[in-house]
């Protein structure tokens, strides 16, 4: 592995060359532990260039600026793809119509899958990621939904709750978690309406 750190000990502005010894597939001599699968995923996400120039992750854009970002979102929206990643963040463009991508088939498709290039961006992937992290770490998780009025925050919340409910039905906690998730819907709706009234 080649590293080019700046030589701060010298009065001259120069760089030094370092070579790290690889001990096996995962461990380097200076103690960094790197998962080869993670490296492959990064190469795929950041170096793979789709032929149709439509990028499911904005981090893949070769030239990231406001124009290319908006053009990519427009191209995806015109192709019927309302979701786009920015790393682990999801951008949703409200289509103002129902898309048939929220049925049990999609719940199962995104279940226990890592956010990444294997599957198209989807709100179920975000919900599933939070749910799996909660189970693994045994700590509370938070999903922030932000946007202008009419951008689809309420619908996005409903889809998140739908996916979390479906996941909780398969778990050992069963109806207790399901009931808690479902009871959050009205509270979220009231808080949304209150914030819109306060902003007027």
Residues comprising the binding site? 147-154
Q: What SS3 state is found at 194?
A: helix
Classify 150 in phi/psi space as left (phi over 0), alpha (psi -120 to 50) or beta: left
For the chain, what is the total number of helices (H) and then of strands (E)? 6, 4
Q: Is 28 exposed, middle or buried (0-12, 13-18, 19+ CB in 10 A)?
A: middle
Measured at the CA of 85, the angle between CA 137 and CA 124, to 5 degrees, comes to 55
User: Which residues are known binding-site members for ATP?
Assistant: 147-154
Cα of 52 vs its chain's centroid, Å:
22
């Amino acid at each position: 592995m080649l590293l080019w750190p700046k030589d701060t000990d010298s009065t001259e502005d120069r760089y030094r060359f370092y070579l790290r010894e690889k001990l096996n597939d995962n461990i380097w001599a200076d103690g960094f532990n790197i998962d080869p699968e993670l490296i492959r995923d990064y190469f795929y996400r950041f170096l793979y260039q789709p032929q149709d120039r439509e990028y499911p992750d904005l981090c893949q854009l070769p030239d990231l600026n406001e124009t290319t970002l908006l053009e990519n979102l427009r191209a995806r929206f015109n192709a019927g793809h309302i979701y786009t990643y920015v790393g682990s963040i999801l951008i949703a463009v409200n289509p103002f119509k129902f898309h048939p991508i929220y049925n049990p088939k999609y719940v199962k498709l995104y279940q226990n899958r890592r956010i990444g290039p294997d599957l198209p961006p989807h709100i179920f992937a975000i919900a599933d990621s939070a749910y799996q992290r909660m189970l693994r770490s045994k700590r509370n998780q938070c999903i922030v939904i932000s946007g202008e009025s009419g951008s689809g925050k309420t619908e996005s919340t409903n889809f998140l709750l739908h996916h979390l409910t479906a996941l909780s039905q398969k778990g050992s906690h069963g109806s207790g978690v399901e009931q808690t998730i479902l009871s959050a819907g009205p509270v979220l709706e009231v808080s949304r309406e209150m914030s819109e009234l306060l902003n007027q």
